Amino acid sequence: MNNPGKIQKFYRRMLWSFGLLALAMSIISVSLVHQYGATRPILRDDSQGRNHAEKIHDRTVYLTQGELTAAFLTHAIAILSMAIFVGILMKSRFKNLGQQS
């Protein structure tokens, strides 16, 4: 059978991994959006492919498809890693409750 100590170490490693990933991706995502809001043009420029209007802090800036994709993916990875982190945390807590009774 499985050793409870090994399972607990596994959950602890997974929690740390996804927790750090969630923290890192959240910081990257927020800093990326702040950078885009501060440095991207406020006028549409189809010749450069800046045709995606995004409102960042009461300012509308125009992003390229690549910039928009990068912002979306960093947000998505941050949210997904947070959800996995909470799921593993809940599963490990409920598993520990079952072992105590």
- Cα(42)–Cα(20) distance, rounded to whole angstroms? 34
Residue 35 CA: distances (Å) to CA of 12, 28, 41, 45: 34, 10, 12, 19
- Alpha carbon of residue 54 to chain centroid: 19
Please state whether the predicted TM-score (pTM) of the whole model is above 0.75.
Answer: yes
- Cα(92)–Cα(73) distance, rounded to whole angstroms? 28
Structure tokens at 77: 């990875």
pLDDT in tens, 55-100: 998 999 999 999 999 999 999 999 999 999 999 888 877 765 655 5
Residue 100 has a pLDDT of 57
Higher pLDDT, 20 or 99: 20
Domain boundaries, the chain: 22-100
